[in-house]
């Protein structure tokens, strides 16, 4: 029995009508832009890991690169992004390198951690200005896609969910009045 048959059977047995079941059963199967294979080049994966690490650096918990976000990003872009967003993401890699070259005369990975941070802060500021003027139907900003994938990849990784967030393998009862202390980590689901 394949996944599609198993999900259909579960929906039928429970008697429920699954809203949007066709989309759920197909999963993330968007068409791939022709240049998406470049994302799986080890050098690009390493660069994406460095971008992610600059966004979420190592502190008392592992950083994004150590959590494997560089390897996570290409799979998500290939499997779950629309062709339009795939193209924006691929162009974004080139734009990031272009901005790095114009500002520092070096590639992103040749920059010091402080230079990387300053570069991404500037691009983030540009993204926020773009989003403040963005109208419906306008394409996403490439750095917004980078940040979203970094956060998703990190907080769904084992390191992010168990070391950056608080995690109980077998949670207890719900306590709506649980006391919160400033600085406490969020709970992983």
pLDDT per position as a tens digit, 123-151: 999 999 999 998 888 999 999 999 999 99
Question: What is the spatial distance between Cα 136 and Cα 96, in angstroms, rounded to a whole number?
Answer: 25
φ, ψ of residue 148 to 5 degrees: the values are -60, -45
Q: DSSP secondary-structure letter at 184?
A: P
Q: What is the largest CA-CA distance in the chain?
A: 62
Q: In the beta sheet, which residues pair with residue 166?
A: 187
Answer yes or no: is pLDDT of 112 > 90: yes
Q: pLDDT, tens digit, for every residue of 22-81?
A: 444 445 555 666 677 888 999 999 999 999 999 999 998 899 999 999 999 999 999 999
The CA–CA distances, whole Å, from 33 to 137, 149, 153 equal 20, 18, 22
Question: What is the spatial distance between Cα 4 and Cα 22, in angstroms, rounded to a whole number?
Answer: 10
Q: In the beta sheet, which residues pair with residue 187?
A: 166
Answer yes or no: is pLDDT of 90 > 90: yes
Question: What is the spatial distance between Cα 126 and Cα 130, in angstroms, rounded to a whole number?
Answer: 6
């Amino acid at each position: 029995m394949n996944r599609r048959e198993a999900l259909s059977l579960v929906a039928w047995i429970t008697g429920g009508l699954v809203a949007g079941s066709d989309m759920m059963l197909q999963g993330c199967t968007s068409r791939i832009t022709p240049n998406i294979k470049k994302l799986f080049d080890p050098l690009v994966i390493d660069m994406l890991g460095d971008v992610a690490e600059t966004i979420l650096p190592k502190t008392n918990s592992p950083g994004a690169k150590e959590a494997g976000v560089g390897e996570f990003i290409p799979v998500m872009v290939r499997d779950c992004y629309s062709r339009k967003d795939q193209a924006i993401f691929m162009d974004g890699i080139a734009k990031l390198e272009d901005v790095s070259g114009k500002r520092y005369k070096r590639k992103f990975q040749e920059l010091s951690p402080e230079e990387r941070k300053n570069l991404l802060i500037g691009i983030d500021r540009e993204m926020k200005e773009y989003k403040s003027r963005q109208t419906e139907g306008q394409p996403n900003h490439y750095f917004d896609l980078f940040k979203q994938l970094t956060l998703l990849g990190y907080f769904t990784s084992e390191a992010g969910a168990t070391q950056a967030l608080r995690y109980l393998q077998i949670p207890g009862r719900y306590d709506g009045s649980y006391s919160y202390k400033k600085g406490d980590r969020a709970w992983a689901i």
